[in-house]
Structure 1
Amino acid sequence: MNAIRFARFASTLLIGLLAARAQAAEPRSISLEECFQLALEKNLDIRIQRLTPEITRASVYGSYGAYEPTFNAGMSYRSSTQPGGFDEQNRPFGQAQSKTESFNAGITGLLPTGTRYDVSLGYNDVFGAREIAIDGVPIGVQQFENTSGGIRLSLTQPLLRNFWIDAPRLNIQLSQKNLQISELTLRNQIIATVTAVELAYLELVAARETIGVSEVALQLAEQLLRENQKRVEVGVLAPLDEKEAQSQVAASRANLLGARNNYSIRQNQLKSLLGDHFVSWHDAELLPAESLTAEPQTYSLQDSWSKGMTLRPDLQQARLDLERRHITLKYQKNQLFPQLDLVGSYGQGGSGREFSDAFTVTADGNYPEYSFGAILSVPLGGNRQARSNVRATQAEIEQSLLRLKKLEQDIMVQISDGIAQARTSYQQVQATEEAAAFALEALRAEEKKLENGKSTSFQVLQLQRILTERRFANIRARVDYNAALARLAQAEGSTLERQRINLEIR
């Protein structure tokens, strides 16, 4: 007896502590739509993945740097002193001192057509003095100065290798595909998070309804205990029946404690999905504003398959990855060709005593120069590396095609299983509702029989337990049905459309 009283006291104390904690916590009514909005804004997984397109977009922007022109400029000074000597006719000449001042500037770059250009400007100014001697005797110094140079445009255009695609164009196209893949990765993460939020919300609603069912079960057990105690006092019921009722009360209290603890756990699971600062949510009690309903749905396997083939982000990613490999194969096939470049240049030259004179002559355009030709480069070993790259990429493409086909098949199986699960879950909802209703009727009838002395307390307690189990089963069936609809939408890739979430990725 003391042990039973202590257990009842401990159970009451724990329930009271949990209730006091719940009263101290700040309640917040929250709808499923509000949960979606908070998750889209604050969920850490989404925030982490949202940065990936920004990183990839920067890579795309950087890949166009291959077409940025490069400016080059330089200046130099050189001084040289040459000793005197004798020429071929054995005539003596004096020493000479020369100085050279040079400067050059130019712009080089690459065009999207594969054309390389080089615009250059350069001049050399050579000046100095030379001794004049007769019969080895210096008689004077001759000053000299001459400036020469010009401006030139040079072009190199590949005609075979690197003609329709080269490394910069390959990088740009691959970067663009990577950007699309990163955006689909973000979409897939959002779909996964929205589905997780919906499932967590359903579990929270179920946990709250479970508390309600547990409280009703405890009330029924306590009511029967009070009635049995009165019957024992007047001698119409055996004391053993009172003990059975007390056991049922203790068990119902234990179930209620477990239900409340589960409700706290389910709140934490939902909170972890909705925010990036758990501490600020910890003391808030979430009260779901919606209840568990089971609305019948119509299904079309063909329509669902069509959605899956067009909306699933992972399937779109696989297709883009296949396109990436085809782009790489196109580049590698182009590398099989020999290098044949058309080259040409045109310029204007000029010379004079000083820089200004040379500039003037160049500007007049009277001394043009030009050239053109072709350069052929053929590997003599059969271009083994390029051919190996092509064969490897072709095998990778075949492998990717098989993976794509398998993914399409897996998606179709997932959707088919999802529709079957949703239909079965809805039937279970109806069946458990009927089971709970029949269990309630049976309990009411047995209670009347007990009042009339035609039944036992044991039978009533058993029917109370059956009623509670049937109600729990109905809650679980409704959760499973709504979860099946959420997972079916995820299998189709239509989660965002189902929840009317407009997603814009910038």
Structure 2
Amino acid sequence: MTFRLRLLLPLLAVLLAATGARAEIKLTLDEAIRLALEKNPQIKVDAYDRPIARADWLAELGRFDPALTFRRSYSESNTPSYGPATLSDLYQSDEYSLGLEGTTPWGLSYRIGGTASNERRAIDPDAFATFGGIQVTQPLLRGFGFGANLRGVRIARANRGIADWTFRQSAIDTVTAVIGAYSDVSYAQNLLRITRRSRELSSGLVAENERRFKVGSMSENDVVQARARSAARDQAILYAEQAVRDSVNRLRQLIGETEFPIEPENIVVEPPEIVDEPTISLQEDLKIAFEKRPDYQAARLGVDIYRVNHVYARNQLLPQLDFVGSYGYRGLDTDFGVSRRMVRDRENRAYSAGVVVSVPLTFTEGRGRLRSARLKLRQSEADLDRLEQDIAVSVASAAGQIDTARRRVAANRAAYELAKQALDDELKKLRAGTSSTFFVLNIQEQLAAVESNLYQSLADQRRAHANYDRAIGRTLDVHHVTLAKE
């Protein structure tokens, strides 16, 4: 069905040009929903958020990937010597290092590898110094723990979940909009049919009145009244035709069409009958809404983000206390091979240990950031409570709309049957000479209005069901839509 309309449009254009008639395309609701999910421009735009969020999450995870690092440096300096004569001592140094460096999720920075330096002085022979081992820096207060170091990963993971739920919300909104637009097309087409039939009834009454006027059983005023009402109904047909065109183009826009002609092809819709009313239990439906509504789940993840920021801000308020240490083996000789062998054979053990302390004098920045993070967390929690209240109201309202729509349909069906019976009775009276054209025309218009109300209530009933499904977050489940995993 994805290319059905595109394949048919060229053929339809040829048929329209050859016959001058508007072709018809049958489009079921399921097909319209499928086309919208595949081709709707907003869906295509929103679909990018999920891979973007996943890429950001991978980037944050990459912060803990070890890196193979090579360094090379050269330095040179002249150092004056002391004595009776001022001599210049030229000092030259070449340094090399190769190691594996990285950071762990609990804050430990490490480097595993070796260094080599060649020091040359005019008054001393060349010396080769080598070292092989591990060097570490471990924060003990600020920067220590998973909360401080996994902040970016946790936020990116939450944003990835938010992107998934947001895309699901976009799909739900699109499906709901398609159901509404599909119902609008159905109502507009039925309204056009009603107005045309009303025009036919008035034309038939005009013909019958003219025939009876010729035989002298009806006045000329009755003929004029019938003609005037018949002419007035021509305008209603024009408005109804424009409503069909507008509703069809709205539906075409939702299903991803890019061309909107003044005379679009006549899409014939077949809205499914609502046979079984849903079993409504506000308490159970509210639980389902909290579980499946994308906006609520996204809001919960938003609270998690503020909670992560609060934990991080609390950690950053601590003073800095880092343990630094190293352990390995050194080599020193005038021959580079000998110096390297000393490291390899672990002849000269070398280690160090110490601490680095840094204490802000006022903690002003840290206290300000912590206070801001705490208030934002409380704000997000309060907003989540507000959203829960809004969801409860929307679920109750949607349930009430279903009940109201069902009653409206029943009332309008009964009114339609009564209006048809009233028109039949009034026509019989007119032919028997006990009624007038004025009463018959009024009842014809009443019948058209009642039938229009019936189809409007049916369209509203379908919207009510769609809004109810959206309110509790089960739209995609009801229409058997499965979103592709990213």
Per the normalisation by structure 1, the TM-score is 0.86
Distance 1:353-1:440 versus aligned 2 partners, 3 A rule:
same
Determine the structure 2 residue equivalent to 1:435: 415
Q: Which moved more, 1:296-305 or 1:445-454?
A: 296-305
Q: Secondary structure at the match of 1:119?
A: strand
Change over 3 Å in CA distance of 1:149–1:36 after alignment to 2: same
Residue of structure 2 equivalent to 1:481: 461
Q: State the Cα deviation string for residues 21-48 of structure 1 (Å, max 9, x = none).
A: 9964442111000011101110111111
Task: Specify every segment of 5 or more residues in structure 1 that has no aligned partner in the other structure, as ranges.
Answer: 1-18, 131-142
Q: How many residues of Structure 1 are paired with residues of Structure 2 in the alignment? A: 471
Q: For residue 263 of structure 1, what is the aligned residue in structure 2?
A: 244
CA distance in 1, matches of 2:88, 2:313: 61
Residue 45 of structure 2, aligned match among 27, 44, 48: 48
- Residue 28 (structure 2) pairs with residue 31 (structure 1): yes
Match 1:492 to one of 449, 452, 472 = 472
Q: State the match for 2:293 in structure 1.
A: 312
CA deviation map 1:129-187 (0-9, x unaligned): 66xxxxxxxxxxxx933322222421111222221236541111011001111111111
| Distance verdict in 2 for CA 1:113–1:434, change over 3 Å | same
Letter in 2 for 1:342: F
Where in structure 2 are the equivalents of 1:34-433 lying within 5 Å? 34-77=31-74, 87=83, 100-127=93-120, 144-165=125-146, 168-278=149-259, 283-290=264-271, 295-381=276-362, 383-433=363-413
CA distance 1:204–1:398, shift in 2 (3 Å): same
- Asked if structure 2 preserves the Cα contact closer than 8 Å seen for 1:414 and 1:491, the reply is yes
SS in 1 for 2:50: helix
Identity of matched residues, %: 29
The TM-score with structure 2 as length reference comes to: 0.90
Q: Does structure 2 conserve the Cα–Cα contact (< 8 Å) formed by 1:105 and 1:122?
A: yes
Q: Which amino acid aligns with 2:474?
A: S
Q: CA deviation at 1:291?
A: 5.7
Which one is further off, 387-396 or 422-431?
387-396
CA offsets 1:387-411 (integer angstroms, 9 cap, x no match): 2222222222222222111111111
Q: State the Cα distance separating 1:97 from its structure 2 match.
A: 6.6
Query: Does structure 1 retain, via aligned residues, the 8 Å contact 2:199–2:234?
Result: yes
- Contact map agreement 2:148 2:315 (CA 8 A) in 1: no
Deviation at 1:95, TM superposition (A): 8.1
User: For the residues of structure 2 that align with 1:268 and 1:297, how far apart are their CA atoms?
Assistant: 31
Q: Which SS does the other structure have where 2:107 is aligned?
A: coil
SS in 1 for 2:146: coil
Task: List per-residue Cα deviations over 1:418-452 (Å, max 9, x = no partner).
Answer: 11121111111111111111111111111111111
What residue number does 1:465 align with? 445
Q: Is the 8 A contact 2:105 2:145 kept in 1?
A: no
When residues 79 and 415 of structure 1 are mapped into structure 2, their CA distance, relative to the original with a 3 A threshold, is: closer
- Counterparts of 1:384 and 1:505, CA distance in 2: 46
CA distance in 1, matches of 2:452, 2:153: 58
**Counterpart Cα distance in 2 of 1:146 and 1:20:** 95
CA shift for structure 1 position 241: 0.8
Q: Contact (CA 8 Å) 1:348, 1:365: kept in 2 or not?
A: yes
**1:470 positional shift:** 0.8
CA–CA distance in 2 between the matches of 1:420 and 1:80? 87
Letter in 1 for 2:419: A
Aligned counterpart for 1:448 among listed residues 428, 445, 463: 428
Q: Could you say if the C-alpha distance between residues 385 and 78 of structure 1 is closer, same or farther in structure 2, counting changes exceeding 3 Å? A: closer
Aligned partners of 1:47 and 1:314: how far apart in 2?
19
Contact 1:165 1:334 in 2 (8 A): no
Q: Is contact 1:147-1:353 (8 Å) kept?
A: yes
Corresponding residue for residue 8 of structure 2 = none
Distance 1:294 1:264, change over 3 A: farther
Structure 1 range deviating more: 448-457 or 284-293: 284-293
State the shift of 1:256 in Å. 1.8
In structure 2, how many angstroms separate the alpha carbons of the residues matched to 1:414 and 1:424?
15
Evaluate the alpha carbon distance shift between residue 169 and residue 282 of structure 1 in structure 2; reply closer, same or farther with a 3 A threshold. Answer: farther
Q: 1:127 to 1:313 in 2, by over 3 A?
A: closer
Specify the code of the residue in structure 1 equivalent to 2:462: N
Contact 1:271/1:281 (8 A) holds in 2: no
Structure 2, gaps ≥5 residues long: 1-15
Q: How far apart, in 1, do the equivalents of 2:38 and 2:294 lie? A: 21
